[in-house]
Amino acid sequence: MRALITGGCGFVGRHVANAFADRGVAVTALDVAGAAWRDDVTVVHADLRDREATARAVAGHDLVVHNASLVRTKQNRSDDVWAVNLGGTEHVIAACGQHGVGRLVYVSSASVVYEGRDIEGGDESLPYTQRSQAAYADSKVAAEKVVLAANGPSLATCAIRPHVIFGPGDTRLLPAILNRARAGKLKYTVGPGTHLSDFTYIDNLVAALVAAAERVAPGSPVAGQAYFVTNGEPMAFFEFVRRVLRGLGLPEPKGRVPYWVAWTVAALAELWDTLKGGTLGAEDGMSRFAVKYLCTHHYFAIDKARRELGYEPAVRMDEAIARTVAALKATAAATAA
């Protein structure tokens, strides 16, 4: 079997590529940048916004795990977000049809059902959000819809919806938090600090994607379906942050900022970012979308994934945080050396 992983040189993509390569699958990692890191993974550079380049990359594969997306919760640069997240997805689907690829597994997001209100134990019966939150969430809704609509007799598709992915190699979530902590800028939590969030350890997400790839086929129960995949152990977001900071010996937040203050500051930060033209790098958490997330419950039932994918979060949160902290320490030691 030959598998193409879009966004294959990034945090999630590299872990997925490694998992398939370890199983003897011929793996191609498609990304806009990045270098090969192992001999049995081929790296191809292409931009998903380029329909022809995407088609050339997809040719010759049996399976596509479509992981690439532009994560941006600020409400600017929306054209870029839509061009990658929806336009790129449409190009991948078209390429699968053009080259006879039979299976497509899409890495979606739990945000496709988030409307800025509490979700407690939500399952796949929840409708797509009807309220615009940010271009990222809106484009992921649209992209998941076209992926599932593309399911048919020649192309079997399914969508996996993780939530707050973390683990060794993370380049987005924890680095932004740790940079602020090391600079002495992470002094406050937001809101009451009691709202629960789901988290997804990278190894558990990879296991779910592999299981989906193995099961998705025309006419199978998995085809045309979406699945929430998390650790199934919701905790307060800043409790998670505190445990990581404590493990690294970094100062923990001492104060607390009310929701309305944080939302106002985030709105001003987004305005300033827009006036500067908008940046597309790793975010600092200062967006209205992020503030809403911190001040609402958002955790999900994973019964459907357990039942139909055989999914079970093998690495529990205590172990997942411990592994992540150990990896961060190792990286810091190697950098210092």
Which residues carry out catalysis?
136
Query: CB–CB of 200/229 below 8 Å?
Result: yes
Q: By three-state DSSP, how is residue 228 classified?
A: strand
Residue 257 burial (10 A CB sphere; 0-12, 13-18, 19+): middle
Q: What share of the chain is helix, strand, coil (3-state, %, to 5)?
A: 45, 15, 40
Query: CB–CB of 76/270 below 8 Å?
Result: yes
Cβ neighbours of residue 135 under 8 Å, at least 6 residues apart? 72, 75, 77, 78, 81, 82
Cβ neighbours of residue 326 under 8 Å, at least 6 residues apart? none
Residue 129 neighbours by CB distance under 10 Å = 18
Q: What is the DSSP string of 151-181?
A: -SSS-EEEEEEE-SEESTT-SSHHHHHHHHH
Residue 276 burial (10 A CB sphere; 0-12, 13-18, 19+): exposed
Q: By three-state DSSP, how is residue 226 classified?
A: strand
Query: CB–CB of 157/106 below 8 Å?
Result: yes
